Amino acid sequence: MKNISQALEHLKKTDPRFKLLIDTFGKPDYKSNENYFEALVKSIMYQQLSGNAAFTIYSRFLHLFNSKDYPSPKQVLSFPDPDYRSIGLSRQKICYVKEIANAFSDKKIIPENIPKMEDDDIRNLLIKIKGIGPWTVDMFLMFTLNRPDIFPLFDLGIQKGFTLFFQLDEIPKIQYMEKQAEKWRPFRTTASWYMWKLVDDDFQW
């Protein structure tokens, strides 16, 4: 993501507590992924699973194709469902993965167009695909495209981090979070990264 330094300066100005978080956790290390099909398939496979379980299933999925290159949408569609069931993928997730593969194969998603699209246009495009919800879109925008101003309000980690950051007794209402985060624009992605770090690293003020 470009302008990380600018984002950090902006956040420190909006709330001095960000300086302590930045000093403690350092700068975010964003890594983009130009294979949008891979990013979406992986996000589906990792949903609602522990990291280790998801990694195991995903590794088996890649091994099915016996190739150094990531499988194409057509390759994914060519495998019968029992092959995917044999590696531990649920019927529902098989359906979702194939829906994504169909969207790419049928040119409903054209990778070359994605970087030129606005956040909301990407959201409206992806949300039509079965299995892709608001959270998946937010993660795609943040960590695949490195869009700078995404704030996943319904992510539990964000909610818990927000509660700690503002030293609240309980997770606040979505409307309150949205209002408070307005001052973090246009760098809410970076603010979100620090909300997650607050929770993941068991930080204490």
Domains of the chain: 4-30+150-200 (1.10.1670.40), 36-144 (1.10.340.30)
Q: Say how far apart CA 97 and CA 92 lie, in whole Å.
A: 9
Q: Are 173 and 140 in contact (CB under 8 A)?
A: no
* Average pLDDT over all residues of the chain: 94
Percent of the chain with pLDDT over 70: 97
203 pLDDT more than 70: no
**For the residues of 92-112, what is the DSSP string, one character each?**
HHHHHHHHHHHHHHTTSS-GG
The pLDDT of 174-190, averaged and rounded, is 97
Q: Are 61 and 38 in contact (CB under 8 A)?
A: no
Q: Say how far apart CA 99 and CA 76 lie, in whole Å.
A: 10
Confidence of residue 89 (pLDDT cuts 50, 70, 90): very high
pLDDT for the residue 1: 67
pLDDT for the residue 202: 62
pLDDT for the residue 29: 87
Q: Say how far apart CA 155 and CA 165 lie, in whole Å.
A: 15
The pLDDT of 144-153, averaged and rounded, is 96
Strands (E), 48-192: none
Q: How many CB atoms lie within 10 A of CB 191?
A: 26
pLDDT for the residue 3: 84
Q: How far apart, in Å, do the first and last CA atoms of the chain sit? A: 28
Percent of the chain with pLDDT over 90: 88
* pLDDT tens, position by position, 36-68: 999 999 999 998 888 889 999 999 999 999 888
Contacts of 177 (CB under 8 A, 6+ apart): 153, 159, 162
